[in-house]
Amino acid sequence: MEASRLGERSPRPVSSRTCPDWPALLEIAPDLQFKHYTVAEAKLPAEALANVSHVSLDDVAICCDLDRHVFNPEHTDEAIAEALRATHWFDLREWASRGPGVA
């Protein structure tokens, strides 16, 4: 039997970056896909990172849609969220109420 068949465990661990709150996020912003990354993985703008010096970028999380530059402040480190608000990135609430995500 193949280990990859439905219902069987794979020998390799599976990593999912999809935000666990995706059903609720889908209702707010159906065109976005929120995933969890470390700040280092997300390669955020230098102007945002310049304002964050008290944490290791490999240890801090961001929940975002990297392609659309929208972050979920509920799952993003507070200092990172504040720094991103000063850039071209959108807070999810801003995206949904006043930004490009307004229908």
Q: Say if 52 falls within a structural domain.
A: yes
Q: What is the mean pLDDT of the chain?
A: 82
pLDDT at 98 over 50: yes
Q: Say if 4 falls within a structural domain.
A: no
Which tokens is 83 given? 């720094």
Q: Say if 23 falls within a structural domain.
A: no
Q: Look at residue 3 in the predicted model and tell me its pLDDT.
A: 38
Q: Say if 7 falls within a structural domain.
A: no
Q: Say if 26 falls within a structural domain.
A: no
Q: Say if 58 falls within a structural domain.
A: yes
Domain that holds residue 57: 38-97
pLDDT at 12 over 60: no
Domain count, the chain: 1
Q: Say if 28 falls within a structural domain.
A: no
pLDDT at 35 over 60: yes
Residue with more model confidence, 99 or 66: 66
Question: In this structure, which amino acid lies at residue 86?
Answer: A
The string of pLDDT tens digits covering residues 61-96 is 899 999 999 999 999 999 899 999 999 999 999 998
100 Cβ partners below 8 Å, 6+ apart? 68, 90
pLDDT at 49 over 50: yes
Q: Say if 11 falls within a structural domain.
A: no
Could you tell me the pTM of the whole model?
0.78
Nearest to 71 by CA among 57, 90, 54: 90
Q: Look at residue 55 in the predicted model and tell me its pLDDT.
A: 77
